[in-house]
């Protein structure tokens, strides 16, 4: 029997994970689902956002699905104990270096985007965000006091050849199963790590993937092109920081941040980490207003990528499409359904 570890976390995390639990019970009753403390709520209860035993349980599971972490109440916690540090620590411990973030526009939601319907109708972009390197983890980093009394905050953006190659490979492989086109986004015009990124992707492409169409794009231009003509993109491979920012922007092309799932993968024989790309949404937490579809679609990705239950994943994707076609919308999509009502609607369509 496969195991799924749910890490509900903070804010709307527990609300959207409750819907994943109900969907899993309806769709894959044999899946063994367990839960563990995580994020700010774990810090409050146990003194750390990611306990060693939870990390070990995650590594021993077949897949891990998290809700969200963070919130203003932990803004002043020591950095290494902040909820976000738990998330970064988990990604690192699981070594899930490639974060697949599909920005897919469901037909029923083309009108819910902030862009004109014709710009986003049929949109299907796959971001491949490097997830365990770059400025998120680079050393040295810190805040120091200078001789003149002012402070200096600094981070290090760093990538090695192998870190770039392994994520590049994921992007090229994915492109072969899609429309065979990869954009690699960096800032090679200003950053040394960006220049190396471009060189390594260029070499890898020439050596192993010359059948795939490759275009290099500066990350700032990529942001502009995403809102000008997003359908020119298929696979976009980029570093940790640019991937974070560009994928949030792309979320609005699909109607709402509450729609975007993600799959963080590494070694195919190890568990993946599945996470909606949205955060804990403190402004709506506890009100039953959160859209659970990003979490439910993250479960769909877990079924497909880690749990090897492709048929169940197809059933779930079809159920979500049907639910949206029926006009089901939470508030972020311009509707009035609650989190639980959206979960109910998806579950009803799993069986029909
Ligand atoms: P956020 O994603 O939590 O919220 C941004 C906006 O989108 C808010 O208006 C929110 O109400 C809305 N929103 C987000 N998810 C939604 C959903 N499922 N349904 C409906 N509306 C939704 O980003 P933020 O406010 O910048 O960050 C809040 C906290 O979350 C911070 O502590 C941040 O570090 C954390 N965060 C965590 C993750 C994660 O756990 N993966 C991701 C992003 C941010
Ligand atoms: C995301 C989030 C995280 C990130 C934060 C909460 C650490 O924004 O998953 O997109 O920056 O990676
Ligand atoms: Mn983000």
Which tens digit of pLDDT belongs to each residue from 188-240?
A: 999 999 999 999 999 999 999 999 999 999 999 999 999 999 999 999 999 99
pLDDT, position 134? 98
Confirm or reject: Cβ of 10 under 6 Å from ligand 2: no
- Region 121-142 average pLDDT: 98
Average pLDDT value for residue range 310-322: 98
Averaged confidence pLDDT in the chain: 97
* % of residues, the chain, pLDDT over 90: 97
Model confidence at 252: pLDDT above 90: no
Q: Catalytic residue among 244, 274, 329, 332, which?
A: 244
CA distance linking residue 89 with residue 83, whole number of Å: 10
Instruction: Give the confidence band of 67 by pLDDT, cuts at 50, 70, 90.
Output: very high
Contact 254, 277 (CB under 8 A): no
What is the residue with the minimal CA distance to atom 13 of ligand 1?
281
Residue nearest to atom 1 of ligand 1 (CA): 279
84 lines ligand 2 (CB under 6 A): yes
Report residues whose beta carbon is within 6 angstroms of any ligand 1 atom.
12, 68-71, 84, 87, 257-258, 275, 278-284, 290-291, 294, 332
Annotate 312-337 with b (16+ C-beta within 10 A) or e (fewer): bbebbbebbebbbeeebbbbbbeeeb
Separation CA 76–CA 81 (nearest Å): 10
The number of C-alpha atoms within 13 Å of 21 and in the hemisphere containing its C-beta is: 17
pLDDT at site 327 = 97
Q: Write out the CATH class of domain 103-258.
A: alpha beta
Count the Cβ atoms, other than its own, within 10 Å of residue 196.
Answer: 18
**Active-site annotation holder among 136, 159, 209, 274:** 136
* pLDDT attached to residue 140: 98
Residue 57's pLDDT is 98
Query: In this structure, which topology does domain 1-96+266-352 adopt according to CATH?
Result: Isopropylmalate Dehydrogenase (3.40.718)
Q: Which pLDDT band holds residue 352 (cuts at 50, 70, 90)?
A: confident
pLDDT by residue (tens digit) across 139-167?
999 999 999 999 999 999 999 999 999 99
Report the atom number in ligand 1 closest to the C-alpha of 290.
19
Ligand nearest to the CA of 245: 3
Asked if the domains at 1-96+266-352 and 103-258 fall in one CATH topology, the answer is yes
Active-site residue 181, yes or no?
A: no
How far apart are alpha carbons 276 and 300 in whole angstroms?
Answer: 11
Q: Where are the domains of the chain?
A: 1-96+266-352, 103-258
**Does ligand 2 have an atom closer than 6 angstroms to the CB of 244?**
yes
What is the per-residue pLDDT across 260-282, written as a single tens digit (0 to 9) for each?
999 999 999 999 999 999 999 99
- Evaluate if pTM is beyond 0.75: yes
CA distance 50 to 339: 27
Question: Ligand 1: which of 40, 278, 293 to mutate, most ligand atoms within 8 Å of CB?
Answer: 278
131 C-beta closer than 6 A to ligand 2: no
Q: What is the pLDDT of residue 58?
A: 98
Nearest CA, atom 5, ligand 2: 84
Query: Average pLDDT of 333-347?
Result: 97
Q: Closest residue (by CA) to atom 6 of ligand 2?
A: 84
């Amino acid at each position: 029997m496969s195991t799924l570890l749910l890490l509900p976390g903070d804010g709307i995390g527990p609300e959207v994970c409750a819907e994943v639990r109900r969907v899993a019970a309806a769709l894959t009753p044999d899946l063994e689902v367990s839960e563990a403390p995580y994020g700010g709520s774990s810090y409050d209860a146990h003194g750390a956002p990611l306990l060693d035993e939870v990390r070990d349980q995650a590594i021993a599971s077949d897949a891990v699905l998290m809700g969200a972490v963070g919130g203003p109440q932990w803004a002043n916690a020591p950095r290494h104990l902040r909820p976000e540090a738990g998330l970064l620590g988990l990604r690192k411990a699981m070594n899930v270096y490639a974060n697949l973030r599909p920005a897919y526009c469901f037909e029923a939601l083309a009108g819910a985007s902030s862009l004109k319907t014709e710009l986003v109708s049929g949109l299907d972009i796959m971001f491949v965000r490097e997830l365990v390197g770059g400025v998120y983890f680079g050393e040295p980093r810190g805040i120091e006091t200078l001789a003149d009394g002012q402070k200096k905050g600094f981070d290090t953006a760093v990538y090695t050849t192998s870190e770039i190659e392994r994520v590049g490979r994921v992007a090229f492989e994915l492109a072969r199963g899609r429309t065979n086109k990869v954009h690699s986004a960096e800032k090679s015009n200003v950053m040394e790590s960006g220049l190396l990124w471009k060189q390594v992707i260029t070499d890898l492409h020439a050596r192993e993937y010359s059948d795939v169409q490759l275009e290099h794009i500066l990350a700032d231009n990529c942001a502009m092109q995403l809102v000008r003509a997003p359908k020119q993109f298929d696979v976009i491979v980029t570093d940790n920081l640019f991937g974070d920012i560009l994928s949030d922007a792309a979320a609005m092309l699909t109607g709402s941040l509450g729609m975007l799932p993600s799959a963080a993968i590494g070694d195919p024989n190890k568990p993946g980490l599945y996470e909606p790309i949205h955060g804990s949404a403190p402004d709506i937490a506890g009100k039953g207003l959160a859209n659970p579809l990003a979490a439910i679609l993250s479960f769909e990705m877990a079924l497909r990528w880690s749990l090897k239950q492709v048929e169940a994943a197809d059933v779930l994707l079809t159920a979500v499409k049907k639910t949206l076609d029926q006009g089901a919308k939470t508030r972020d999509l311009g509707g009035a359904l609650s989190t639980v009502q959206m979960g109910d609607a998806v579950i009803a369509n799993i069986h029909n």
